[in-house]
């Protein structure tokens, strides 16, 4: 079962495109006069990328640098487990980098063995899906017994729902007894996509004590056919509304273990600015073991 006391507090991390050059993520692993350092890397990988991960970060693995893993090939809304070779590959990745936890969005990432990427299909936010995801998480816990498997609120550009996404995620976390990744950009994009005001969230009933990791990224505005949406975008600056939400809710996250800046396509200077601001907010607003890890 999920025990937050067993999860290490990591601090502030960076989502890394291991083969990318913008930003130069290795420059953020060491503190200097221009910027503070990051404490861990969040690596997204498919089941068959063990060789790639080894190639790019074997030196960090040897140094016991902390990692968390975002396995791409898992559909949490499908109660059936993935094929054995897929699960074995994800397990090998987690073992390779000694991932502190695994986490993925609640959505349809794969369809007929095709990775959907930005065309991810969000789940139906209802009781049936809550039960399906809960069942899947129970199965995954038996496959990956040594590491927590967290659930992340997905990006939403359209919605079929009977409940707010925060109520949906909270229900799964409670019934599956698991931790949460709270993606701020995904949440704000959901509010815009459903025509809700940003203040219209059930924050008073959301289990913030189950939030283990927070994701921060930019938002990109799109208008199609007169319909305005905002997409979580890792190449855009983090907007003021996201910083305000973080400052407001951070004190409620009493068991927070990591804040990940998702900045895979941002210039180094933007990442450095965001990193400094994250440190400033966390030193003022965060609590518990997370604050001590900074």
**Lowest-confidence region among 102-116, 156-170, 186-200:** 102-116
Please report, rounded to a whole number, the percentage of residues in the chain having pLDDT higher than 90.
76
Residue 31 has pLDDT above 90, yes or no: no
Q: Which of 83, 63, 62 is nearest to 74 (CA)?
A: 83
- Residue 204 binned pLDDT confidence (cut-offs 50, 70, 90): very high
pLDDT top residue among 22 and 139? 139
Output 171 or 120, whichever has higher pLDDT: 171
d(CA 90, CA 47): 5
Tell me the pTM: 0.95
Domain count, the chain: 1
Mean pLDDT across the chain: 92
Tens digit of pLDDT for each residue in 53-110?
999 999 999 999 999 999 998 999 998 999 999 999 999 999 999 999 999 999 988 7
Question: Strand (E) positions, 16-90?
Answer: 40-45, 67-71
Judge residue 207's burial from the number of C-beta atoms within 10 Å of its C-beta, 0-12 exposed, 13-18 middle, 19 or more buried. Answer: middle
Residue whose C-alpha is closest to residue 212's, from 253, 251, 263: 253
Contact 282, 250 (CB under 8 A): yes
Which residues span the domain enclosing 196? Answer: 4-293
pLDDT (0 to 100) of residue 227: 65
Does residue 231 carry a pLDDT above 80?
Answer: no
Torsion-angle region of 24 (φ positive above 0: left; ψ -120 to 50: alpha; else: beta): beta
Query: Residue 249: which CATH number?
Result: 3.20.20.150
- Position 112 scores a pLDDT of 76
């Amino acid at each position: 079962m999920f025990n937050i006391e067993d999860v290490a507090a990591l601090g502030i991390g960076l989502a890394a495109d291991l083969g990318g050059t913008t930003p130069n993520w290795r420059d953020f692993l060491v503190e200097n006069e221009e910027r503070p350092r990051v404490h861990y890397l969040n690596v997204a990988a498919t089941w068959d990328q063990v060789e790639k991960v080894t190639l790019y970060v074997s030196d960090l693995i040897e140094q016991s640098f902390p990692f968390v893993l975002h396995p791409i090939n898992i559909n949490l809304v499908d109660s059936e487990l993935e094929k054995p070779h897929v699960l074995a590959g994800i397990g090998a990745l987690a073992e390779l980098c000694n991932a502190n936890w695994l986490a993925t969005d609640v959505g349809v990432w794969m369809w007929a063995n095709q990775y959907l990427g930005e065309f991810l299909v969000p789940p139906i936010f209802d009781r049936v899906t809550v039960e399906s995801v809960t069942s899947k998480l129970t199965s995954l816990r038996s496959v990956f017994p040594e590491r927590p498997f967290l659930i992340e609120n997905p990006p939403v550009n359209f919605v079929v729902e009977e409940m707010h996404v925060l109520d949906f995620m909270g229900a799964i976390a409670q019934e599956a007894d698991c931790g949460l990744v709270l993606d701020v950009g995904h949440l704000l994009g959901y509010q815009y996509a459903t025509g809700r005001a940003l203040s219209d969230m059930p924050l008073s009933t959301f289990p913030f004590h189950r939030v283990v990791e927070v994701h921060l990224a930019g938002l990109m505005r799109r208008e199609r056919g007169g319909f305005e949406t905002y997409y979580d975008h890792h190449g855009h600056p983090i907007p003021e509304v996201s910083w305000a939400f973080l400052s407001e809710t951070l004190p409620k996250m009493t068991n927070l273990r990591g804040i990940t800046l998702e900045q895979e396509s941002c210039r180094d200077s933007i990442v450095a600015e965001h990193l400094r601001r994250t440190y400033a907010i966390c030193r003022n607003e965060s609590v518990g073991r997370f604050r001590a890890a900074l």
